[in-house]
Structure 1
Amino acid sequence: MEIEQILKQISPLSLPSIQQIVNRIELIHLPKNTTLLDAEKIEKKVYFIKKGIVRAYTLDDGKEITFWFGKEGNSILSMKSYVENKPSYETIELLEDCELYEINISDLQLFYATNLEISNWGRKLAEIELIKTEERFISRQLSTAIDRYKKLLVEDPSLINRVQLGYVASFLGISQVTLSRIRAEI
């Protein structure tokens, strides 16, 4: 997915504003298994996925708990670092070789201070990320594992073929054995 498409899907921008952002973006290529963001570190960049898939996880008693997958068109950022310039909660790992657009948060902050349209775009980016977080939280609290799996199949069926089932099980909050049983039932 091209960067202009990604930026516009967050919120409409004029061509001059898009160009202003694009001029500060770099396209990078990183191999599978790269750790893009580290928990407990301040992240200084925001990424947008051109190609590939990533996962976000946190550690609980030494066990990795996957709570988000990102794919083409998604943004990758630590909200804690982005908003408060504090260490992140999550680790982001590349599950495939990835092509990512990267921009410094400091560049975005400068645009927010000098360009109202880009500032509103940045607000929309944060709002979208907040809604995604709320949806994950509510789903985890109110839906059964079977319902969460069915929703995943409807919203992102290709994910099952692109991600290790152990990560999918962790994302759903169940064991891999339970995931196998659910898959057999469906």
Structure 2
Amino acid sequence: MELSGKLRGPIQRFGVWGGLSHLLREGLSRYIKVQLVYRDTVWVKRMSTPMESRLIASADNVEQPDALDEYCPDWRDRLSQGNCLICVVSDGEIAGFGWGREQNELGFTYVDSRLPLERAVFYVYDCYTLSHWRGKGVYQAILKGLAEEAWTDEIYVATRWNNTGSIKGIRKAGFMLDRVFIYFRILGKPVRFHY
């Protein structure tokens, strides 16, 4: 039996149950927005990866600025503001990159929520793997590299509940689910909560 276009991709990528679960999350995400927040475990820094990650301390340290310009045009500004940039390099080219910074709250515009924290955490954000490197462990190498550079004890990373590729990468890197933020509307009124 031939699958239709919308079914074929997710089922081939995640299997029957995983593909159907992915499609259900995609459909529901139009009405319910869910942000998953993961916290590091001891396994994050112990994980081994064949990929090399490099800490970029200044714009002068970047060997391929064009790749960053294309996928993250404000990277120079972020570096000058003290954000941490890790690039994963393979075969002499950037395969992916990710950002980290210290902050005193978890805040997400996607679910219109903020949660003040008692102490600062290292928050990983805006990670990106170039398309031809996906599925090859680049995201895990980015997360491990950022965890090694973190200047706080706790490291957090978040993703939307329908980003199954990101969820798999975060779990493989050794992070565990810590919080869930939910947002939806009832009769035009916003409803938001976290647990």
TM-score, scaled relative to structure 1: 0.25
Between the two structures, name the one with larger relative contact order (CA 8 Å, sep ≥ 6): 2
TM-score, scaled relative to structure 2: 0.24
